[in-house]
Amino acid sequence: MPARLYRVPVAAPAGVVHLGLGAFFRAHGAVFVAEAMQASGGDWGIIGVSLQSPGTRDKLRPQGWAYTAVELGPQGETPQVVTVLRDVLVAPEDPQAVLDAMAAPAVRIVSLTVTEKGYCHEPSTGRLNPDHPDIVHDLATPLPKSAPGFLVRALQARRAAGAVPFTVLCCDNLPENGRVLRGVVLDLARLIDPALADWIAAEGAFPCAMVDRIVPATTAADLDRLEAATGLRDEAPVMHEPFRQWVIEDDFVGGARPDLAAVGVQLVADVTPYEHMKLRMLNGTHSSLAYLGYLAGHETIAATVADPVFARFARRLWRDEIIPALTPPPGEDLAAYAAALAARYANPAIRHRTWQIAMDGSQKLPQRILGTIAEGRAAGRPVPGLTLAVAAWMRYASGRDEASRAIEVKDPLAPQLAALWRDDPAETVAGFLGLSQVFPAVLREDAGFAAELTAALARLVREGARAAADA
């Protein structure tokens, strides 16, 4: 596993600022951009921004911003040293420095991976939540906290300087993510300056995108194993599966973008069918397996699907509930895609923890699962597996597993969710369905869905996750 690291020469200046420099982007988007620059050149170095803490910056700075991306294949590991980062800024330490970087004329793209909750919106409607504490802060001061706040204030600075806007490229798992982010940004801009909102609407670009690569959390053992193999200590490597996909709506301000097509990025006119395919087939089953698998005692997705009960459960979800609700993207075979997903989930080298996937369920379920349920019910198709997955999320969000052990629930609504749990499944379901920020009105008002969800939850509590999934 040869690899060389540290003190790489700084080549192309920054043309991209990325908000939310987590493991996923460093294992996905940054790798694509680095390879595109290697293939076709261009000034597309990346300035990363942490919106929370200095941890990533502090690990990368001594390494000259270089890090190793390690492909975890069934036959072994393959490292790639990534040298596309030019700097990492920490927003809470110096928000003005972040705004200055975003406002620089050389920066033509600002991309984001801030997770669903980072958009300060209502997942059930896609609109800005003006009462979100970070948005309240960002309306009161020009030095923002939120990702939408940084976008709006940086675009405000570019407009004041007579510069063109940057393209805003969302890389998070949101349906129609570019359009949702455009709406959030315009909502916030109108509250600050209606003329600014008009300028962004007329001149800006918010292409939709679909991203796909499984990136498990890096462990201390990964760091030690990489050091033993290469002879160099990397404090910030990322681990990823071999598969990768990036589909982007080809809509950039002035057409300015890296030559992403040269390295396999699909540039298309309409991302929606690809996005639905991935969000529902991959993310929907990932979340379903995460909640049920965690409750059944499985630590990883690979361990979960190694259990034949859950492997069959996933196949039923794809065949009977998810694929019938989808329109295939051009050239895609959905049954073949499902088979490929099953193989990816079973990769023993990928230790993607069920607990990690289970985070932020209140933000993820609307686009991953609830949309499919609503469409299935409207079409008269039974959706028992996905309904059971929602029940498993409710059980998980209670903060206690099947053996009454505490669960560390990571969710912006965690206290509220835990308080909704009751011994009576019908009361629990009624409380959860009252969450308008999670459940769309079509499901909140569906008495049949409430009854089926109540029955699924009662079975889950009575029989346990594994037995409930073994329909």
Q: What is the mean pLDDT of residues 152-167?
A: 98
Instruction: DSSP letter for 449, please.
Output: H
Token pair belonging to 133: 């504490």
**What pLDDT is attached to residue 299?**
96
What percent of the chain has a predicted confidence (pLDDT) above 70?
Answer: 97
Predicted TM-score (pTM) of this structure: 0.86
**What pLDDT is attached to residue 2?**
39
- Alpha-carbon distance 49 to 75, whole Å? 35
> Which amino acid belongs to residue 379?
A
**What pLDDT is attached to residue 7?**
38
Q: Which domains does the chain have, with CATH numbers?
A: 14-268 (3.40.50.720), 272-469 (1.10.1040.10)
Mean per-residue pLDDT of the chain: 95
pLDDT tens for 61-112 read 999 999 999 999 888 999 999 999 999 999 999 999 999 999 999 999 999 9
**What pLDDT is attached to residue 12?**
62
pLDDT tens for 364-402 read 999 999 999 999 999 999 999 999 999 999 999 999 999
On whether the CB atoms of residues 14 and 242 are closer than 8 A, the answer is: no
**What pLDDT is attached to residue 9?**
41
Please, which pLDDT band fits residue 1 given cuts at 50, 70 and 90?
A: very low
Beta bridge partners of 47: 17, 87
Strand 45-50 with 85-90, pairing:
parallel
pLDDT tens for 193-226 read 999 999 999 999 999 999 999 999 999 999 999 9
Token pair belonging to 184: 């959030």
pLDDT tens for 2-45 read 344 433 344 568 999 999 999 999 999 999 999 999 999 999 99
**What pLDDT is attached to residue 273?**
94
Kindly compute the dihedral angle of the four CA atoms of residues 262, 265, 268, 271, in this order, to the nearest 10 degrees. -170
Alpha helix ranges (H) inside 327-404: 334-346, 354-357, 361-365, 371-378, 384-397
**What pLDDT is attached to residue 209?**
97
Burial 215-224 (b: 16+ CB within 10 A, else e): bbebeeebbe
Residue 153 Cα distances to 96, 172, 368, angstroms: 10, 21, 31
